[in-house]
Amino acid sequence: MAFDINETLAQMLGVVKTTVEDNWSEVKETANEFLQRRKVRLELLADMRILGEITQKRLESRLEDERLLLEAELHAIAVITKAIAQKAANAAFDILNKAIKLAIKI
């Protein structure tokens, strides 16, 4: 299976929705806008890793930076707790990392 940034972003958004549950209506726009703004960067990071241009360790460092940015944006929405924001950001970026690893195995 080839890496598909659009499918991966949809899955990331889906896991955020599942994580924030009752607060989805307040979080939806912020999470979606974040992922769309970061799409090119996330796809570039994925492609670089898939092509072996960066190591897994370097990718994980960069993804951690991106995860922290998403978490900060989610924190800006007062309706969810810090723990939920962390959980949502972690889950979203776990999906991205798994999609990249699957693409590498092809």
pLDDT bucket at 106, cuts 50 / 70 / 90? low
pLDDT of residue 1 exceeding 80, the answer is no
Tell me how many domains the chain contains: 1
Which pLDDT value is given to residue 73?
Answer: 87
- Specify the pTM: 0.78
Compute the 3-state secondary structure of the chain and give helix, strand, coil in percent, each to the nearest 5.
Answer: 85, 0, 15
pLDDT tens column, 15-45: 999 998 888 988 899 899 999 999 999 999 9
Report the SS3 class of residue 55. Answer: coil
Domain range for 50: 5-17+25-104
Q: What is the dihedral of CA 93, 1, 53, 42, to 10 degrees?
A: -30
Which pLDDT value is given to residue 83?
Answer: 82
